[in-house]
Chain A
């Protein structure tokens, strides 16, 4: 068995174990433990996706999806894991959009956990249809991104607010996999009373 297969197998096994303890923590109402477990599981998911992306086998399974469902599910899930105020803004969300739900969820979850770490009080997840692009925006009221990270994310940026930078790199890859009619998805970081992470997906 080569290392990659072994790693994939181990990740699979670890996630199964995490799933068990997560249920226990949830049943006990232990929010902090639950968040630790789910965050660890999310980083394992990203690691595997990153490996696939490196091998060139990360494909997007694009289908019609309901952005409001994804946003609501993430909000409900995360509000169980934090004392901060997490809200959704779906006032300008389209009914349907075309994307790979598992990949987009992975990217948003990463951005949301990131925001939870830096927010003072509030984290917001917004879905909006802007000129034939779906924008999925995670914003917080923390100190914002360091200036060198701002703008359109291009190459792997070694600096990130915390962590290895895998998250942002992967987010960019996922965005790029969502291409249609000559346009492809992108990630933009900005500051506006806190950090603003935007995943933009073409129609």
Chain B
């Protein structure tokens, strides 16, 4: 539902740590007709309010007590999808200057209000923003759904109208082109934008698109220019750090992230990124330093992440301080009640307990880690669980998880190296050599066998094999798209079957989300079209 202007039906939340400011803002809103106004003095209380109901408008002060700021609060709300794009988020600040210290475009507030402001300013600002939300309603709804082709179409309509929302629509379109996997179009689009006016977001978009196209050097160059022009654009450092990391320049990645930390020392994202790079190089004292900062800043905040505690615990164990790790992990497990069974936390604890000489406690932790479906875990977490299995002597379970990881990403040589490393670290030198090769061979054979059956006309059998494999290896885009294609080819040849089509579409969407540029996806789209043509022709 669209937000109503100056209406008691509009739910407004004020978040400010100063009581006088809260009542002052509430007075101003009341004079504009907004009477349904909730106030919070802390992030914790605000999050409680979200459990009761949603809000249409959030007015949040940048400075908040308790170690968080409005930007962190907004990032938390957006990344966890507690608010949709239809919610208006307005950051209230006493001075300009925070705008640029922001990580990602999707975490930008809708507007900034500079204190002091009059009720009239607030009124016209709200009217303007509500009007904008209305104009972009379709675009926003499609973005929330992740339907990028539809976002592009909706943006094109606004771009063609050339009204005041022209550039807003262009910005969203560029991002949608990237997410829809239309990398070449995205590069051309951003280049055109930059020729019109060199705006920081367009240069960042160009760098992203170049990176996806595989033009790493051109991407790095665009980012260097961007950092010179807009030294406060944190997203540029983040991406440049990532590019350096991907091309194996860990030192350069760390240097870039360190310089970003100097500009924005309070940003948690940067410390986390530094920890990731240092984990790759095995520099665990660096990991420990970075994550200790994060944990210190968030320990008493509702915005804390269990993952930070787990990774810090792992670093401590790696540094030969398992009892320190145990202490930290036990604290996390007992205080974050909802995450007591978090598989990453439990897996890291299992290793720490084992190394600290508590095998019984290690066993308990491992059981907690292995409660859920292993194939559904993100690779990083699955790896930690495998490590915990190997550390506690459960070689078979550990190898099973590692094999699945290899088969989910048979081309990821980086990951394979890490898998071999884990086996070696646990004394399994022979398996370190053999496991990756065996697992890759098995998946190739499976694919070949499916192709052979399909050629032999056994379409259903081929599809069935691939569906089984896709369910076991949801991360393997090749298998998942092959399963989708095989199901559709079966339908195309042997007749309509709604169950098969639905399953094929699920696989297609999953693959699309993982890698929108994957070539097989366009073949699937073609085949869908042919199925539609074949079966609707009969009706007409």
Contact = CB atoms under 8 A, between A and B. Distances in A.
Interface of A: 8, 11-12, 15-16, 18-20, 22-24, 26-27, 34, 37-38, 41, 45, 48-49, 52, 59, 61-64, 66, 69, 72-73, 76-77, 80, 95-96, 98, 102-103, 106, 180
Contacts of B114: 45, 102
Given A62-B199, A96-B164, 8 more contacts: A12-B95, A15-B116, A19-B24, A23-B27, A69-B128, A77-B118, A98-B197, A102-B112
Contacts of A66: 164
A93 B117 CA distance: 25
A95 B164 contact: yes
A49 B201 CA distance: 24
Nearest to B99: A61
A23 B32 CA distance: 13
Contact of B94 (A15, A49, A72): A15
Contacts of B430: none
Contact of B24 (A20, A49, A102): A20
B448 interface: no
B96 A102 contact: yes
Contact of A77 (B94, B121, B199, B230): B121
B94 A12 contact: yes
A63 B167 contact: yes
24 contacts: A11-B94, A12-B94, A15-B95, A16-B18, A16-B115, A19-B94, A19-B115, A20-B24, A23-B25, A24-B24, A59-B100, A61-B100, A61-B200, A61-B230, A64-B168, A64-B197, A69-B128, A73-B121, A73-B124, A77-B120, A95-B164, A103-B96, A106-B96, A180-B198
The residue in A8, A48, A64, A66 that gathers the most chain B C-beta atoms within 10 A of its C-beta is A64
A62 B25 CA distance: 29
B194 to A, nearest CB: 11
A18 B200 CA distance: 34
Interface range for B = 35 or more
B174 to A, nearest CB: 13
A27 B31 contact: yes
Contact of A22 (B116, B201, B231): B116
A91 to B, nearest CB: 17
A180 B112 CA distance: 25
A59 B232 contact: yes
A25 B198 CA distance: 43
Interface string B219-240: 0000000000011100000000
B414 interface: no
B166 interface: yes
A19 B122 CA distance: 13
Given A62-B199, A102-B96, A15 B119 contact: no
A72 B223 CA distance: 37
Contacts of B163: 95
A48 B166 contact: no
A34 B115 CA distance: 13
A179 to B, nearest CB: 10
Given A72-B124, A80-B118, A180-B197, A96 B166 contact: yes
B95 A45 contact: yes
A16 B18 CA distance: 10
B20 interface: yes
Contacts of A12: 94-95
B328 to A, nearest CB: 32
B42 interface: no
Contacts of B121: 73, 76-77
Given A15-B94, A45-B95, A98-B199, A20 B128 contact: no
Interface string B149-165: 00000000000001110
Contacts of B24: 19-20, 23-24
B125 interface: yes
A23 B164 contact: no
The residue in A15, A23, A72, A95 that gathers the most chain B C-beta atoms within 10 A of its C-beta is A23
B91 to A, nearest CB: 12
B90 to A, nearest CB: 14
B289 interface: no
Interface string B489-517: 00000000000000000000000000000
A22 B164 contact: no
